[in-house]
């Protein structure tokens, strides 16, 4: 088996700023570990605020020329990136698994998903349009001109180290913006590899900059305080999002925020249980449950609760846990010890309050950050796991007896990112679609992410949309021109 680290040369494990790969100004580095073993797999540059501002210098210098680059040329470079990612899918997937922990099959899916953002926004790059119209009262004409917002700062999470960066970088470049990406400290290698690939396909220096750091607060704060930064996009927790929004307010930055979730998955008694079980497994266990749109609370209507629970628990218990690079593994390692400890505490809290574990529920001995697929029932309303984002392979199941009851419980959260409903009654499905406070909803489907669809939440789950046609609008300002014409 080849070493996944061979795809990223040591000289490319540094900061990507302008046309150079450079060490941090201080010379500092930090370790990246394999969460399945706890062993260090690489050392990367640990930037400070000065390095972040150097990346902003580069992005600012490149901004005018990149904005003036013909849309077709920008489109071709995004298409070339899509092709390179597709051709190198296996190497990239193995690197993702090594630094993040997900099974290789999941990592391959992420590469395909992330690559699609480059293909989608390559197509959108040549379709940015303004409009020309006669003013209703006559006497002049109205012209609208879309323009790139300017240098963008991206703060990306560890759970999808390629796709979350791709979802931001692709539309920004399509719109004519330059970028500085600060990837999560746990998973910086994949973003560095993406920057290397984009360099290889010909994206000009300064358009894609990557700053790796364990000192995120200082670096990001410095970037947001600089007036040359014009856009912030963040994917991560609501708690951190609130902090960044306050900082962004000082310079009135454009912001896109994809924040925490607490998705309810609702199984109605009239659902096709085979479809519901398939959908629930995907919605709960995609990415080991480490997803903002993962099913966090599973509500099952009382007449089918017993059957659904038994069949779901059987499926969860049959999943294989191990190193994501090993054959046959369904559930890889969680990202770090803190994640495992949090899940363990949430399960213990629910059990203390009267819940019952059906399968799983005990972390294994040995190295690595593992937690078994777990199903827990009789979960009381005051259990912490019904409000906290579990972010792991734990599924609480709660019964319900009426649509009004489950709608109220599903909406009783500060979050509103995603939800799922399984029913064969079209009118019932539409009532849930209108009544649930979510930015996204899957009906008889557990997989809803798609580059061609608008991804984003309501309430405290975020601001703005990523993907789809709406995604490129997040990176465009609009100038209105009034032209005198009697």
Active-site residue numbers? 258
Six token digits for residue 117:
């953002």
List residues bridging with 394 in a β-sheet: 374
For residue 273, what are the CA distances in angstroms to 9, 145, 378, 427, 476?
Answer: 49, 51, 20, 19, 44
| Residue among 309, 304, 331, 351 at smallest CA distance from 392 | 331
The answer to whether 354 touches 378, Cβ cutoff 8 Å, is yes
The helix-helix angle for 71-87 and 189-201 (nearest 10°) equals: 130
CA–CA separation, 156 vs 183, rounded Å?
A: 5
Backbone angles phi, psi at 378, to 5 degrees: 55, 40
Q: How far is C-alpha 253 from the geometric centre of its chain's CA atoms? A: 21
The helix-helix angle for 403-411 and 426-435 (nearest 10°) equals: 30
CA–CA separation, 332 vs 101, rounded Å?
A: 5
CA–CA separation, 194 vs 364, rounded Å?
A: 34
Count CB-CB contacts under 10 A for residue 310: 11
CA–CA separation, 468 vs 117, rounded Å?
A: 9
The answer to whether 434 touches 426, Cβ cutoff 8 Å, is no
CA–CA separation, 426 vs 449, rounded Å?
A: 22
Count CB-CB contacts under 10 A for residue 354: 11
CA–CA separation, 449 vs 71, rounded Å?
A: 27
Count CB-CB contacts under 10 A for residue 86: 15
Query: Pairing relation of β-strands 263-267 and 295-301?
Result: parallel
Task: Collapse the DSSP code of 234 into the 3-class scheme (helix H, G, I; strand E, B; otherwise coil) and give the result.
Answer: strand
The answer to whether 146 touches 475, Cβ cutoff 8 Å, is no
CA–CA separation, 121 vs 114, rounded Å?
A: 11
The set of long-range contacts for 18-25, using a CB threshold of 8 Å and a minimum separation of 24, is 18/54, 18/55, 18/57, 18/58, 18/61, 18/62, 18/205, 18/206, 18/209, 19/205, 19/206, 24/48, 24/51, 24/213, 25/50, 25/51, 25/54
Backbone angles phi, psi at 209, to 5 degrees: -115, 145
CA–CA separation, 84 vs 114, rounded Å?
A: 12
Q: What is the dihedral of CA 433, 438, 440, 443, to 10 degrees?
A: -40
């Amino acid at each position: 088996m080849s070493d996944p680290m061979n795809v990223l040369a040591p000289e490319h494990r540094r900061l990507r700023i302008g046309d150079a790969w450079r060490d941090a100004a201080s010379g500092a580095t930090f370790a990246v570990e394999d969460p399945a073993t706890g062993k260090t797999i690489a050392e990367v540059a640990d930037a400070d605020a000065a390095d972040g501002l150097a990346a902003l210098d580069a992005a600012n210098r490149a901004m005018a020329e990149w904005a003036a680059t013909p849309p077709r040329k920008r489109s071709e470079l995004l298409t070339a990136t899509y092709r390179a990612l597709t051709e190198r899918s296996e190497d990239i997937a193995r690197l993702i698994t090594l630094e993040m922990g997900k099974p290789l099959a999941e990592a391959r899916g992420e590469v395909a998903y992330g690559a699609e953002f480059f293909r989608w926004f390559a197509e959108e790059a040549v379709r940015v349009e303004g409009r020309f119209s006669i003013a209703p009262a006559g006497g002049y004409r109205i012209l609208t001109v879309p323009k790139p917002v300017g240098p963008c700062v991206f703060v990306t999470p560890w759970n999808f180290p390629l796709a979350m960066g791709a979802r931001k970088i692709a539309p920004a470049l399509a719109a004519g913006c330059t970028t500085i990406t600060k990837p999560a400290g746990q998973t910086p290698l994949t973003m560095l590899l993406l920057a290397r690939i984009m360099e290889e396909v010909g994206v000009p220096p300064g358009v894609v900059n990557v700053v790796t750091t364990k000192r995120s607060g200082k670096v990001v704060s410095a970037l947001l305080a600089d007036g040359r930064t014009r856009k912030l996009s963040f994917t991560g927790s609501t708690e951190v999002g609130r902090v960044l929004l306050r900082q962004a307010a000082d310079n009135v930055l454009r912001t896109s925020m994809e924040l925490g979730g607490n998705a309810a998955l609702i199984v109605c008694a009239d659902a096709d249980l085979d479809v519901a079980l398939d959908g629930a497994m995907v919605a709960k266990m995609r990415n080991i449950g480490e997803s903002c749109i993962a099913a966090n609370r599973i509500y099952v209507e009382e007449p089918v609760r017993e059957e659904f629970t038994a069949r779901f628990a059987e499926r969860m218990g049959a999943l294989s846990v191990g190193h994501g690079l090993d054959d046959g593994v369904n559930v890889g390692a969680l990202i770090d010890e803190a994640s495992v400890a949090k899940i363990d505490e949430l399960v213990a809290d629910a059990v203390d309050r009267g819940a019952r574990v059906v399968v799983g529920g005990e972390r294994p001995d040995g190295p690595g950050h593992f937690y078994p697929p777990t199903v827990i029932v009789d979960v009381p309303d005051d259990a912490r796991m019904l409000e906290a984002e579990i972010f792991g392979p734990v599924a609480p199941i709660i019964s319900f007896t009426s649509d009004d009851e489950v709608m109220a419980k599903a909406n009783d959260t500060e979050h509103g990112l995603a939800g799922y409903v399984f029913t064969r009654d079209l009118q019932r499905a539409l009532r849930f679609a209108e009544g649930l406070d979510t930015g996204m909803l899957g009906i008889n489907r557990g997989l809803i992410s798609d580059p061609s669809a608008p991804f984003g939440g309501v309430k405290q789950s975020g601001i703005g949309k990523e993907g789809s046609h709406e995604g490129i609008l997040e990176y465009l300002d609009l100038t209105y021109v009034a032209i005198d014409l009697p």
